[in-house]
A and B are shown apart, each in its own frame.
Chain A
Amino acid sequence: QKEVEQNSGPLSVPEGAIASLNCTYSDRGSQSFFWYRQYSGKSPELIMSIYSNGDKEDGRFTAQLNKASQYVSLLIRDSQPSDSATYLCAVNFRSNFGNEKLTFGTGTRLTIIP
């Protein structure tokens, strides 16, 4: 059973601070990792993808991957109230075609406090 684990939260962070979201996964052979953001009542949207060990930065977002520890994280710098959402970690467990083996975690609900 391929698993993706996230702390469901809620995680409350003051505006302007760094929000840190964590995710662990069960399959060492996993190759691609994604963070999706989902506002309440809306569909998920991709905010970050990462494939290699280390950090990947995009604006205020940094994804971190450690394959040896089977751990992926998302940092949000200078948190804004508009960052309040549920963040879904998704791991592609060696799909043969597209995303048919993409497994989602249950999500972490993040609230930014003004």
Chain B
Amino acid sequence: NAGVTQTPKFRILKIGQSMTLQCTQDMNHNYMYWYRQDPGMGLKLIYYSVGAGITDKGEVPNGYNVSRSTTEDFPLRLELAAPSQTSVYFCASSSYNRDSPLHFGNGTRLTVT
């Protein structure tokens, strides 16, 4: 049982480049989330999705885009990378109710220089 899988694990981008962080889950969870975690900080929600075709902004969405064409996949797109987007990115999923625990992927460490 793979759970939540994120790729890549590490990436270095130059300012202005774009990239897509991949996330897939095999638990048939409806809800999926993208968080970023800056050093010494808690997790901040970037975008979330309540099901295929439905996405919405979280607390810090600027500079990012998402799509959800299938239940399994929830990619995060950075269009014009900026140093402020240097962070660790976590994808997570949860099942149908608000008390369900989050299942996290292993994270992507992104550096923008």
Residues of A at the B interface (CB closer than 8 Å) are 4, 8, 31-32, 34, 36, 42-46, 49, 51, 88, 92, 95-100, 102-107
Contact = CB atoms under 8 A, between A and B. Distances in A.
Contacts of A95: 98
Given A43-B90, A43-B107, A99 B42 contact: no
Interface string B14-55: 000000000000000011010000001111110010100000
Interface of B: 30-31, 33, 40-45, 48, 50, 56, 58, 90, 92, 94-102, 104-107
A30 to B, nearest CB: 11
A34 B104 CA distance: 14
14 contacts: A32-B98, A43-B105, A46-B102, A96-B98, A97-B50, A98-B48, A98-B96, A99-B94, A99-B98, A99-B100, A100-B31, A100-B33, A100-B50, A103-B42
Main secondary structure of the interface of B (DSSP, over half): loop
A16 B90 CA distance: 33
Contacts of A103: 42
Given A104-B44, A107-B42, 7 more contacts: A8-B40, A43-B107, A46-B102, A98-B30, A98-B31, A98-B100, A99-B31
B56 A100 contact: yes
A99 B43 CA distance: 13
Nearest to B43: A104
A44 B102 contact: yes
A96 B96 CA distance: 11
A98 B50 contact: yes
A65 to B, nearest CB: 14
